[in-house]
Every structure is written in C-alpha cells, then in structure tokens.
Chains A and B, each alone.
Chain A
Amino acid sequence: MSATCDQDADLMLRVQKGDTAAFEELVDKYKQPVMNLIYRTIRDATEAEDLAQQVFLQVYKAANRYRVSAKFSTWLFTIARNLCLNEIRRRSRHPAESLDAVRPDSEDEPMRQYEDIRTFSASEQMLQNELTEKIQKALEELPENQRTAILLFREQDLSYEEISEVLKCSLSATKSLMHRGRETLKQKLKPYLRSGAWQKPTI
C-alpha cells in the first residue's frame, strides 16, 4: 500500500472516530478530482457540485463501513460513479434542461462565477477553449464506462486493477474499455490531433 493510501486510510480511521478535521482534510484533497469526474459525466456545474457534496456526505455516513484493506480513492470514486449513474438514470426518466448546463452556442455570461487561476493570452485562450470544448464534447459522447475509465486513469493515478474495481468489471475488460475509448477519441479528434496546431512534437 502506498504512502498516500496509508495517509488516506489513517484519515478515514480518524473519521470513523468522529474526527471532523480529518474529514475536512479528505474533502480538500479529493474535492477537485471528484468534481472533475462528476462534471465531465453529467456536464452541469450546479448538479455536479450537489452530487460531489453528496459523495462526501455518503463517505462520512458510511465511514464505519470503510475497511483499510480497500484503497480510499477506489472506494470514493465507486461512490461518485454510482451517484452519477443514478443521476443519469433519473435524467433519462425525467428529462429536463438545467439552467446551468453548458451550452456551447450560448454567448451569455455564465450564471456562476468561479475564480480562474489559469492565465492565457487572448489567442491562446481561444485555442485552449476550442480544444477543451472539442475534447469535452468527444468525452461526453463516449459510453459512460469508457469515459470513466479514461478519466480515472488520467485523474487519480488509479491502476487498471483499481479502475476495474470502480467499474465492477474484469481487468481485461477495463483495458479494453480504455483502448476503445481512446481510439474513439482519436477518431473524433483526428483533424485537430493531426493539425499539430495545439501541440509541439517532442520526438
């Protein structure tokens, strides 16, 4: 078990004893990765934030069920994924457009303001925004399990084994999901990837 894993397990053991400071530390550490996964799955900032909050609430409520033998991040992302799937199911039953949903064609100001810690020049910013939008759209169009596999692999340094645990499928199936997902992304983004406008080749 890695040092990070040990550290998370220690924090969870403290949470089990009702230590709120330990819980706060875990929330601070994982809020962004959890939010990234949820936001890229449901594409609605407000609902993603609500869901992320629910994920941590569930972690707190179920702290007594956590066993040190399981890696905390695997457990956390399993909860996050389950909540996302529930939300997707709920949406399919009650389709409704959220006021906060990302609309690429919209020129309105975003309804919520967040601090932007990145700085780009205007042209870089435009290019970056375009790239981001294309990748996010391509990601959005992937099947849920392929998208989650790619995001978890990128986001949290989870191993194939741990991702397969979150996705509740075999190791070979997980690898296959990842390969197929990346192949689909490459196909969809081919004109952009081939143009070389975004990146400088290194080799």
Chain B
Amino acid sequence: MNQLDYNKLREIAWRQKLTAQQEAEIKAYLANCPEARPDWEEERILTQSLAQLPDAPLAFNFTAQVLQAVKRQEAEASPAAVVQWWQRLRSLGWGYRSALAAVVLGAGVLSYQQHLNLSREELAVSIATVSRVAALPRVTGLRDFDTIQHLDDVVAVIDTKLLAALQ
C-alpha cells in the first residue's frame, strides 16, 4: 500500500468503520511506515471524538411546535395574499427580480403608448366630424367671389341709366 491508498483509507475511516481487510492493510502500512502512526492515531481519535459529540439540546415537543407554527402561519397567510406575493417576490434572485422589473416597465411603456395612440385616434375622429358638419366651399368656387359680390352694384347703376334713357 502506498501513501495514496493510505489517504483513501484514512478518508473512508472518517465516515465508517474500516473492514477487517482494510484494517489489516493499514496495520501493514503502519508497520512499514511507523512515522505515519501518530497521524493515524490523531485521525482516528478525532473521528471518534467527532462522532461522539452529544446531540444538541432539543425540546421534546419540537415537532408539535413546528406543526403549530405551520398552522398559525397558514391561518395568518390566507387573507394576506398580497403579503405572500411580496414574500415570494423577495425570495426571488436578483436576476429574476430584474427580469420581472423589466417586464413591468415594458408593460407600462406599452400601455402608455397605446393610450397615446388612442388619444390621437380620438382627436382625428373629432376633427373629421367637425369638418363634415361645417363643410367649406371649394376653392375654385371662391375664385370669382369679389366679382359676384360687386355684381349687385353694377346692375343697380345700369338699371338707373336705362330708366333715364327710357324717360
């Protein structure tokens, strides 16, 4: 057995009891390599000591407490769907939050743009309606407007001269 095999067995011993064959291999290695024995002993005792650490103190009714807390939280959370949403939002990563913010911003811009388009359409419809109600004469029709406007005066002068001649 070489150093590499020894290290592998040492790691296995961190977690589980070595088999009889593995122990024999270690024993043979340590016999050939006595300078490794102190390290092996330290490793072994450390592993055993870690395994023998007592369990942390835990209340005997811990499970019941957890179940009670679950019930309490469910009762509190049910009417407050908004809070739940907010908590979910907060639990998301930065990437998701940024993406969500971008989507909300995009939706906002889009709806504002639609609002603007709608306003413009309404304005155009209004102008069209007004223009239909008060239709202006065609420009060609107004070309001789002044001549026609003064026609009455000319006719009146001609009529006066004709009357004088007849008398």
Chain A residues near B (Cβ < 8 Å): 20, 23-24, 27-28, 31-32, 35-36, 38-40, 45, 48-49, 52-53, 56-57, 60-61, 112, 114-115, 118, 128, 131-132, 135-136, 150, 153-154, 157, 182, 185-186, 189-190, 193-194, 196, 198-199, 201-203
Contact = CB atoms under 8 A, between A and B. Distances in A.
B45 A36 contact: no
A108 to B, nearest CB: 16
Contacts of A49: 58-59, 62
Interface in B4-59: 14-15, 23, 26-27, 30, 38, 40-46, 48-59
B128 interface: no
Given A24-B63, A27-B63, A154-B50, A199 B45 contact: yes
Given A194-B38, A203-B23, A57 B66 contact: yes
A38 B46 CA distance: 21
Interface string B55-78: 111111011011101100100000
Nearest to A40: B56
28 contacts: A24-B67, A31-B62, A31-B63, A35-B62, A36-B53, A36-B55, A45-B57, A49-B58, A49-B62, A52-B62, A53-B69, A57-B66, A60-B70, A112-B59, A128-B52, A131-B49, A131-B52, A132-B53, A135-B49, A182-B43, A185-B46, A186-B42, A186-B46, A194-B38, A194-B41, A196-B41, A203-B26, A203-B30
Contacts of B65: 53
Contacts of B62: 27, 31, 35, 49, 52-53
Given A132-B54, A153-B15, A203-B27, A198 B49 contact: yes
Contact of A114 (B26, B49, B59): B59
Interface of B: 14-15, 23, 26-27, 30, 38, 40-46, 48-60, 62-63, 65-67, 69-70, 73
Q: Which 4 A-B pairs have the closest CB atoms?
A: A39-B56, A114-B57, A193-B42, A199-B45
The SS class assigned to the A binding surface is: helix
A20 B67 contact: yes
A189 B26 CA distance: 23
B66 A186 contact: no
B33 to A, nearest CB: 13
A193 B45 contact: yes
Contacts of B41: 193-194, 196, 201
A155 to B, nearest CB: 9
